Structure 1
Amino acid sequence: MANPVSTDVAVIGSGVVGALVARKLALAGRDVLMLEAGPRIARGEIVVNFRRSPRKGDFVAPYPYAELAPFPIYQPEDNGYLDQLGPYPYKPEYLRVVGGTSWHWAAQAWRLLPSDFRLRTQYGVGRDWPISYDDLEPYYYEAEVLWGVSGPQAMEKYSPRAQPFPMPGVAPSYLEQRIAERLAPQFEVLTNTTGRNSLPYGGRPQCCGNNNCMPICPIDAQYHGGIAVADAEKAGVKLLAKAVVYKLEHDARGRITALHYFDWDKVSHRLEAQVFILAANAIEIPRILFLSADDKFPNGLCNNNDQLGRHLMDHPSNSATFYVDEPLWAGRGPMSPASIQTLRDGPWRDRHAAFRIDFSNSSRVASITAAAIAEGLTGKALDAAIRDRAAREISIKNVLEQLPDPNNRVTLSTRKKDALGLPTPAFSYSFDDYVERGMQASLTQYEQIARLLGATDIRYSKPGVYGNNQHITGTLAMGADPQTSVTDPFGRAWDFENLYMVSTGVMPTVATANSTLTASALGLRTADAILGRLKGVGA
């Protein structure tokens, strides 16, 4: 489309959350323009790229990379986009394409628990949210209907619901059924709630168990940001791709007046709007606000109280891999089908991190084959080893809560710049004893699960080395006090009356659920605030 000079609402970022918000505003009659730094992509092209990729476990590899809209890549080597300041490296994976990072996700769609909103009050750690579970419950359901969320009725006892799930849970695989049966004396194993069709829904087919939900569902049974963008455009939203926003402009009256962006010819453009919505991720939004520093705000916009970019959180994980004493045949059905929810809350939460335990159903054939060949096996011995081990090996992992820590922070690099000459993001990051104690508690649960499954050859991930789950939160935390938060309870910036943030970044705590459904619910609530449907707010 031609480069516009003005619009009613400018949405910066085209991921799931931004697209849902843009759609809702457009359906209410607003003129909405959504800007995306990266290019448009097509599902069919990504499926082909995945099939041809030699690195099937690299979920970023099938997606187009552009120097003008860079994102972190770690395989076969780190591309160095992110500046690691330590003491622990934080290595998120995200995409800058139309539709955002949810193209290569697992579409997990748990709600938070009511207690997650009052962590400080109930357990004396972390911080409370400025809103309650009840405030967000109707927006959770609104998001679930738009995504097409499937889930078991039993999940209601953890996160109460006013309406049933749009669809029942996806049919359990044989692996899930046997694990649930064998762990039943001690653990309740539930089918995961996901943005994945268990029935035809939204013009898309039901899940057929391809087992490559990540990095791409080949039949679109799984919801993603590309679908959200298409729905937004049907509602009248205009999309401008390859538009790298690098600065917000403001007046003396506390309003944002324009944004500036580079196109991919490195030409700068200026766009005016009445309302501005930052809808990129919790790393790229702080980056834009830091880049917008000027004489009045030398430390960046929305940073009068030095809160911008602080409290960076994710879900640290470790894992255990072992052989079960019977064939379970991982690789048929969704890759992450079931989990244990009972450890997400409890009186011990004042001492150590809560966590969820997930069961992997990813095919084991490739990794087991490589390991067997490395052992020197050939011929019939190799074939027998692959058949036996691939049938019996499974992996489990935890997903731990991390408390907000102001020293965990996104800033601008003073050492690295991208192809447009803009400083790249930099991280200060570490784990505290709360996480470490949670890791130890989860190891005890791993041992019990392994015992119930008759496990042999148990292999734990390396002590003290944790993966993250790309659930980037906290850097734009909402709150009731501008001294300790970046936005108000509706996602509006404290410092600018027409600037809103819809992102996982506004979550004050990370809890134990994947963050995008909560961010979607928060974004839909923010849209109502912008439309003046919530008392005391509007633009």
Structure 2
Amino acid sequence: MGRIAIKFISAQDAASDSWDLVVVGSGMGSLFFLMKYLQERPDQRVLIVEKGGYNTHDWQLQNLQNSTVDNHRTYRNIGEFHKEWAYTIGLGGSSNCWWALTPRLHPDDFRIHTMTGTSVDWPITYDDLVPYYQQAERKMLIAGSDELEEHYPGTAPFPQPHHHLTTADEMMRARPGHLHYPMPTAKLSLATEESSRNRCCSTSRCHLCPVDAKFNALNGFRDVLSHPAVSIVVDAEVQMLDTAGGVVKSVQFRQAGKDYKAACDLCVLGANALWSPFIMLRSGIGGHGVGRYLGEKMLANVEVYLDGLEHYNGGTATTTMNLSLLKDGRTKDRGTTFLIFKNGFDHGVRLDPPGRWRESLPLGLYVEDHMHYDNGVFDDGGDVPAVKFAPWSPYAQNTLDHAMSRLPEILKPLPVEEIRDPKIWPTLGHVQGTCRMGTDIGNSVVDRDLVSHAVRNLVVVGTSTFPTSGSVNPTLTAAAMSLRSAERLVG
């Protein structure tokens, strides 16, 4: 894909004008908010300030990377445990590197405290998000199965049919009462005239997507990025938000060592779950837990050796989701696990014994953990967020132990030779918390519409606002929350 007709402007031009809306960061949360905002107010003057540059899809493929910015240099671990956090800095944010899995949060994910007495409830419900889930799914052309309507009301119909399943998937689904469903994904199962995207190639290179099948900012938000009302300044790092009288007056950013200010009436902060709270801390913007409750689910990858059954004949990298562990529910001592069946060589090919290299099945376990107040982002005077994170809690370990104990029963339809020990991945790439949503300033940073309790013309979008990690991938929910926020603010 060639360059989009975007209005890039200089830092000087951005600072010499005043704006109806300044958007900090250009990831999914920001752009879904902006899409809805422009539908209602197309004549408003909008500025996007992006820390990274503009790297086209062709550039990413040629250079085998999503950005010139090493994201690991944009935070600094403190404390004894150093955890890896994954995201992309550049126009489109982590829409460039995501793997485009788009399940919805389960209705029970919104009421953990009510059900178990632990953690917190969300200030919104699943039903509040249903119409916005539907809008986001239509925008991204999600491929999925209408069977999910039974567990996720308001799902059907999906815009595209689900991807081709593996033989192992079909065997799992043949079991009476199965809880095994095609994975909803923002990767096309069919090429369409309405989109320049292609059909998924099933090579499990989704962070780069060789055929441009997955939805991202550059192919899916052309209408937003090139909108006549929108101007963009790149390679510009926001330092802080200038406030007075309880409102944001301007956004201060730095480019090439020089500081600038862009005046605004409304500010949307979507700089990810490390940088959004860091900017708020630098700006002196309060609320309970600014920077705190940092977390993500544990990713445990499990390799299953099969006896005589060859795998890897599916139509995309992750073909199915199994709800058995999610349906086991939560207790005060353990959470839920989301089980996914994969179609890529996470563990490499099976070498022993020779000739059986396809007789293996990679599984992914998304293991829930509580978000703890002591884990967080801190401003210690440095140039990047100082991040403190303790190892996984006993709650998460209990959740993983429960999942592993259940796998033999769940996998009974398959000729299983061995379920190998889980391997804990350094990151799942689902950075969450730090600007949590709640009912008032005493328990949260933003309200149920994602507006700061302390500064009422500041909207915080993205996964930083999640009060809990939820059971599944967060991107679709972040998109739905942005759509809802924009509609309630300007609709």
User: TM exceeds 0.5?
Assistant: yes
User: In structure 1, what is the Cα distance between the partners aligned to 2:221 and 2:195?
Assistant: 15
Compared CA separation, residues 425 and 389, structure 1 to 2 (3 A): farther
Matched, 1:21 2:15: no
Q: Partner of 2:372 in structure 1?
A: 405
User: In structure 2, what is the Cα distance between the partners aligned to 1:207 and 1:344?
Assistant: 30
Q: Partner of 2:269 in structure 1?
A: 278
- Identify which of 301, 309, 312 aligns with 2:285: 301
| Matched position secondary structure for 2:218 | helix
- Identify which of 6, 21, 40 aligns with 2:54: 40
| Matched position secondary structure for 2:370 | coil
Matched, 1:64 2:82: no
Contact 1:317/1:399 (8 A) holds in 2? yes
1:225 partner amino acid: A
Q: Shift in Å at residue 448 of structure 1?
A: 3.1
- Alignment deviations for residues 166-192 of structure 1 (CA, whole Å, 9 cap, x no partner): 2221222445334544xx257422110
User: In structure 1, what is the Cα distance between the partners aligned to 2:237 and 2:74?
Assistant: 16
Matched, 1:351 2:339: no
- Identify which of 289, 309, 312 aligns with 1:330: 312
User: In structure 2, what is the Cα distance between the partners aligned to 1:174 and 1:212?
Assistant: 18
Matched, 1:172 2:165: yes
Compared CA separation, residues 179 and 140, structure 1 to 2 (3 A): same
User: In structure 1, what is the Cα distance between the partners aligned to 2:157 and 2:177?
Assistant: 27
Compared CA separation, residues 186 and 404, structure 1 to 2 (3 A): same
Q: Partner of 1:75 in structure 2?
A: none
- Identify which of 234, 244, 255 aligns with 2:247: 255
CA RMSD of aligned residues (A): 2.3
Contact 2:340/2:364 (8 A) holds in 1? yes
- Identify which of 384, 391, 395 aligns with 2:362: 395
User: In structure 2, what is the Cα distance between the partners aligned to 1:225 and 1:314?
Assistant: 23
| Matched position secondary structure for 2:325 | helix
Q: Partner of 2:488 in structure 1?
A: 529
Q: Shift in Å at residue 313 of structure 1?
A: 2.0
1:71 partner amino acid: N
2:83 partner amino acid: Y
- Identify which of 359, 366, 385 aligns with 1:424: 385
Compared CA separation, residues 107 and 152, structure 1 to 2 (3 A): same
- Identify which of 340, 345, 349 aligns with 2:322: 340
What are the residue-to-residue correspondences of 1:494-533 with 2, within 5 Å?
Answer: 494-531=453-490, 533=491
What are the residue-to-residue correspondences of 1:58-97 with 2, within 5 Å?
Answer: 62-66=65-69, 70-72=70-72, 81-97=74-90
- Identify which of 14, 17, 31 aligns with 1:4: 14
Contact 1:27/1:235 (8 A) holds in 2? no
User: In structure 2, what is the Cα distance between the partners aligned to 1:457 and 1:111?
Assistant: 31
User: In structure 1, what is the Cα distance between the partners aligned to 2:474 and 2:172?
Assistant: 26
| Matched position secondary structure for 1:389 | coil
2:305 partner amino acid: Y
Q: Shift in Å at residue 446 of structure 1?
A: 2.5
User: In structure 2, what is the Cα distance between the partners aligned to 1:153 and 1:186?
Assistant: 16
Q: Shift in Å at residue 451 of structure 1?
A: 5.3
Compared CA separation, residues 459 and 18, structure 1 to 2 (3 A): same
Contact 2:432/2:463 (8 A) holds in 1? yes
- Identify which of 202, 206, 209 aligns with 1:217: 209
Q: Partner of 2:396 in structure 1?
A: 435
| Matched position secondary structure for 1:26 | helix
Q: Shift in Å at residue 229 of structure 1?
A: 4.0
Q: Partner of 2:6 in structure 1?
A: none
Q: Shift in Å at residue 196 of structure 1?
A: 1.8
Compared CA separation, residues 258 and 228, structure 1 to 2 (3 A): farther
Q: Shift in Å at residue 86 of structure 1?
A: 4.0
Contact 1:331/1:362 (8 A) holds in 2? no
| Matched position secondary structure for 2:358 | helix
| Matched position secondary structure for 1:403 | coil
| Matched position secondary structure for 1:423 | coil
Q: Shift in Å at residue 206 of structure 1?
A: 4.8
| Matched position secondary structure for 1:460 | coil
- Identify which of 270, 276, 281 aligns with 1:290: 281
- Alignment deviations for residues 437-473 of structure 1 (CA, whole Å, 9 cap, x no partner): 11111111233345543333542135xx554311111
- Identify which of 125, 137, 142 aligns with 1:132: 125
User: In structure 2, what is the Cα distance between the partners aligned to 1:332 and 1:472?
Assistant: 29
Contact 2:202/2:314 (8 A) holds in 1? yes
| Matched position secondary structure for 1:525 | helix
Compared CA separation, residues 242 and 331, structure 1 to 2 (3 A): farther
User: In structure 1, what is the Cα distance between the partners aligned to 2:188 and 2:119?
Assistant: 35
Q: Shift in Å at residue 400 of structure 1?
A: 1.6
Q: Partner of 1:77 in structure 2?
A: none
- Identify which of 165, 175, 183 aligns with 1:192: 183
Contact 1:401/1:511 (8 A) holds in 2? yes
User: In structure 1, what is the Cα distance between the partners aligned to 2:308 and 2:179?
Assistant: 20
Contact 1:14/1:279 (8 A) holds in 2? yes
Contact 1:326/1:392 (8 A) holds in 2? yes
The answer for unaligned runs of 5 or more in structure 2 is 1-8
User: In structure 1, what is the Cα distance between the partners aligned to 2:264 and 2:330?
Assistant: 49
Q: Name which of structure 1's ranges 320-329 and 401-410 shifts more when overlaid on structure 2.
A: 320-329
Aligned-residue identity in percent: 24
Compared CA separation, residues 221 and 214, structure 1 to 2 (3 A): closer
1:357 partner amino acid: L
Q: Shift in Å at residue 390 of structure 1?
A: 2.6
